[in-house]
Chain A
């Protein structure tokens, strides 16, 4: 126990369990999990939060978050979240989805959840690759980027162009708040936390659909060191997926 004069500056959030994650060195999921956990603690909503884990590397999120979490079929978290939130409107419901989950197999689900203005929060982790299946092309793989299914690099008229999710969803009337951030530096991690906190706050205030896209890393499948991966996010990814607020109905324009 701490003495009265002492105070914690840094410790594990209550919203995280003590389990060791399966994530690789330099993977962005750990940072993003921690940000979500800190935000949920700070907003004092841990006991009424329900998370939806995706299919992908974060599939075991229910082992890492210390609140109620369900799995969902690949791409379906927004539909599952809709079912939960409509039945329990005073609970805090969020989905945690990767790029394959959200922008390929689950494209319909995310667009229509936004169109219905579901009062949920979506954390969209974009690392441009299918991580868990060992590095195939994702809908957000950059042009020229090598993956196990684009061994000579992504070629647009063979493999398609990458999809910019924030820009797409910002056109949907039902979406309330859409922002893209990254985690390649301390200031950007702080910005990411601010955005995620705002998204959860909007949900608490019953304002509607929020999505935060976080540009993240996958050193293992990118065949880069953690430091090189951060550099890739900062330069290559951020230039095709510019960070910024794409929509915020809570701010007077």
Chain B
């Protein structure tokens, strides 16, 4: 495909995601300061007004997500960003967005937890992101970039998916991607914003619209939940993304996402240099989890090493995906620890 040459610019993960959102047609951002995503609201405070959009520094994470709820209800592409403790606070709003079938994009620059934790990179919000996070029977699409370029790209995709399925979409990165600066190609995208007939814009020329997640009549909520469950099934069928590296001829498969996958990439290069046939499977969508694809690739191996910056949350999804006789090992660094490629190589040799 012939593409016009696009110059690279140097951006941090926060800036790349914010710029990606703006170029995706996002016109509303509300946020609250929390490390390590502070660059996000700072960047938006300058860029949003330049693009005719709205920036609000909210009084709380809870207010920020509810402002996003309002903007989304008004038919506008809207987003917020935060880091782990802040995302916990936003879960109320995310549940309402899912219940009301409103599109929105939420960026999580994951830091160590539980509680206030620390401000270093972590992947400890895997369960929270992929299992719903708030109350009720719902799911959020979760995209996990592994570098700054992909943070830019996936933020755009997040808006497309949010509108396509009328559901909140999370981009789960971490404190490393948030603050790390890398060259990014700012591909120009088509701002394909679908017509939103359900939006609240005033009832001129039509019957009044209402947005709600409350269904008190017995059975109505049950029907509604089955309806969104069918939608989730469609998402599972259509939206799985993954990436493989050196998986053609393998004895050992590493499964890892985000920053950790990038470190595994390096570890595999080291292992291959020593004659160890290791390969990488990297889920890009953490929900829907690319289970069938992992299963297919795992047919070739007897051992899988899952590497995460947490205590092994994704191990569950790997176990659900692959056949029972595959030995699954785990190497992890919770609480803000970041493994070095040599550490992972050592683990590869040990198992």
CB within 8 Å of B: which residues of A?
Answer: 46-50, 52, 59-60, 62-63, 65-73, 76, 79-88, 91, 108-109, 111-112, 116
Contacts and interface: CB of A to CB of B under 8 A. Distances in A.
Q: Interface of chain B, helix or strand or loop or mixed?
A: mixed
B28 A72 contact: no
Interface stretch (B56-64, B283-291, B342-350): B56-64
Contact of B202 (A73, A80, A91): A91
A88 B75 CA distance: 10
B27 interface: yes
Interface residues of B, number: 40
B210 to A, nearest CB: 4
Given A69-B210, A70-B210, A79 B58 contact: yes
A45 B212 CA distance: 23
B212 A70 contact: yes
Interface of B: 27-28, 30, 54, 56, 58-60, 62-64, 66-76, 78, 92-93, 96, 100, 200-205, 208-214
Contact of B66 (A47, A66, A72): A72
12 contacts: A50-B74, A60-B214, A68-B200, A68-B202, A69-B200, A70-B70, A71-B96, A71-B210, A71-B213, A73-B96, A76-B62, A83-B68
**Which of A66, A84, A109 has the largest count of B CB atoms less than 10 A from its CB?**
A84
B66 A88 contact: no
A172 to B, nearest CB: 13
Contacts of A80: 66-67, 69-70, 73
A47 B211 contact: no
B27 A87 contact: yes
A66 B69 CA distance: 21
Nearest to A22: B216
A76 to B, nearest CB: 4
A83 B203 contact: no
Given A76-B66, A79-B58, A86-B54, 12 more contacts: A50-B74, A50-B201, A63-B210, A67-B203, A69-B210, A70-B212, A79-B64, A83-B70, A84-B74, A108-B60, A109-B63, A111-B59
